[in-house]
Amino acid sequence: MTVRVELEGHLGSEPSVREVNGRDFVELSVAVSQGYWSKTEDRWVDQGTVWYRVHPTSRRAGDEARLLHKGDAVVVAGTQSVEEFTRRDGTNGYAIKVNADAIYVSRIPKKADA
């Protein structure tokens, strides 16, 4: 079963571009803030940040990713998977990966602008 997602967040670092078997491989780190607006408290209640590893799968998404910079607001659409890995201390960790067929610049403000 494929899980289709659409994320809206900010780039946590500059796009990583490296060559693998003669092809460019792009990876983005996207931070998505979790939370909700509390009507009773009249404020935003922050519930932390979820980080996603984003890999463009279409040529257009890859070209768009190369134009982005750390802190840019983006919308990412694609399929989600979870990848298990072993940390340096020997414990297991999990990474949320999105194979993105579309990446767009968003108009949500950067944290410093908010």
pTM greater than 0.85: no
Residue 110 carries which side chain, given as an amino acid letter? K
**pLDDT of 53-109, one tens digit each?**
999 988 888 888 888 999 999 999 999 999 898 999 999 988 899 999 999 888 765
CATH class belonging to 3-105: mainly beta
Confidence of residue 114 (pLDDT cuts 50, 70, 90): very low
What amino acid occupies position 13? S
Rounded CA-CA distance 63/59 in Å is 6
Residue whose tokens read 């799968």:
57
Q: Contact at 8 Å (CB) between 106 and 74?
A: yes
The proportion of the chain whose per-residue pLDDT surpasses 90, expressed as a percent, equals 60
**Cα–Cα dist 8/106, whole Å:** 8
Q: What is the pLDDT of residue 109?
A: 57
Long-range contacts of 21-24 (CB under 8 A, 24+ apart): 24/62
